[in-house]
A and B are shown apart, each in its own frame.
Chain A
Amino acid sequence: DAGITQSPRHKVTETGTPVTLRCHQTENHRYMYWYRQDPGHGLRLIHYSYGVKDTDKGEVSDGYSVSRSKTEDFLLTLESATSSQTSVYFCAISTRGRDRTEAFFGQGTRLTVV
């Protein structure tokens, strides 16, 4: 999995509680992404980062925040979890360059909000 570790791999949480998912990379890639994957919707971008402390919103960012204080770590926080945030979350990394623009994905985190 190209040196990407997501934690936790599975989590069940209650509605209204905050949740933080962690993505850790050992590749020193500049770009990091958080996606969610739901049946019928494919992968949807939540937030991404183009450097330490540099982040931007994706298409489904409402209810989520991110932080990147170190190159290797990208945290996704659900400030107050809702049942609609039950999903599989994937972290990805990439490095831009003429021949290396592809994304490498982590194993995913299955989050259930009850």
Chain B
Amino acid sequence: SQKIEQNSEALNIQEGKTATLTCNYTNYSPAHLQWYRQDPGRGPVFLLLIRENEKEKRKERLKVTFDTTLKQSLFHITASQPADSATYLCALPESGSASKIIFGSGTRLSIRP
């Protein structure tokens, strides 16, 4: 079965630096990959979607890359701010069922002033 792996350890970054989070997946090639942000006590909020034929996608200070050979997506936050502190989850459609969305366990990001 397919598996999504995100770094389970929290990532601590100095304000102003670039935060880079990793999402690895196994056992199939999804048509797209999504990134979400989750704050404590809240539901996840969609941030970006990148398709298999896109190498990179940007939205303001966010950048996502998608390497289908490595089966990996990188999520970058440039000029990080304390308000960026949250848990970030990657998600992709399950193999054989594009409407089933499955999630990684998320990486908690802390930006210190």
A interface, how many residues as a size bin?
A: 20 to 34
* Residues 9 to 67 of chain A near chain B (Cβ within 8 Å): 31, 33, 35, 40-45, 48, 50, 56, 58-59
Set of chain A residues within 8 Å of B28, measured between Cβ atoms: none
Q: How many A-B residue pairs have CB under 8 A?
A: 59
Please tell me if the beta carbons of A96 and B99 are within 8 angstroms of each other in the complex.
Answer: yes
The number of chain B residues touching the other chain, given as a range, is 20 to 34
Are A43 and B42 in contact, with the CB atoms below 8 A? no
A42 and B104 form a contact (CB under 8 A) = yes
Contacts known (A40-B8, A101-B49); A58 close to B105, Cβ less than 8 A: no
A90 on interface, CB distance cutoff 8 Å: yes
Interface: A107 (CB within 8 A): yes
Is B10 at the interface (CB under 8 A from chain A)?
no
CA distance A105 to B42 in the complex (A): 9
Residues B43 and A108 in contact, CB atoms below 8 Å apart: yes
With a CB–CB cut-off of 8 A, which chain A residues contact B102?
45, 59
- Once the chains bind, are B43 and A90 in contact (CB under 8 Å)? yes
A104 touches B46 (CB 8 A): yes
List 19 additional contacts besides A48-B100, A103-B91, A105-B44; criterion CB under 8 Å: A31-B99, A33-B101, A35-B103, A40-B105, A41-B105, A42-B89, A43-B44, A45-B100, A45-B102, A50-B99, A56-B97, A94-B101, A96-B99, A101-B93, A103-B36, A103-B101, A105-B43, A106-B43, A107-B43
